[in-house]
Amino acid sequence: QVQLVESGGGSVQAGGSLRLSCVASGRTDSTNTMGWFRQPPGKEREGVATIRISGAPMYYADSVKGRFTISRDISKNTVYLQMNSLKPDDTAMYYCAAASGRWVGYPPDEKVFAHWGQGTQVTVSS
């Protein structure tokens, strides 16, 4: 099993920045891809960004390209989501997820991700 714990959410004004962190523990050696998803109020969960543990970022949602950056620090078993120029539409619960496969779909298919964190709330006010 892989345990994921997110942190870094909060409330910011539009134009502000936040950095989300996701620390993985347990059977992390079985993980090849990490992803960030989000679920806005009253909407379905959507993929935000994915990254292979051994390589470059794989996917960014069109709505976050140029504003969000996904990265990982293998030594810390941590994946980050740097969010800049935040907009009210970015308000959502953000989830970290881990998959054993190297291909998770484009956009990412959440059914491929076996492990999920509890989520961290991001609220952006106008």
Averaged pLDDT, 62-75: 96
Q: How far is CA 117 from CA 6, 51, 56, 93, 100, in A?
A: 6, 16, 22, 11, 15
55 is written with which tokens? 């390589």
Q: How confident is the model at residue 57 (pLDDT cuts 50, 70, 90)?
A: confident
pLDDT reading at 101 higher than 90 = no
More confident residue, 103 or 125: 125
Q: Is the pLDDT of residue 25 over 80?
A: yes
42-70: average pLDDT:
93
More confident position, 58 or 18 = 18
Task: For 26, list phi and psi in degrees, rounded to 5.
Answer: 90, -140
- For residues 7-16, average pLDDT: 98
Mean of the per-residue pLDDT values of the chain: 95
pLDDT at 56 over 90: no
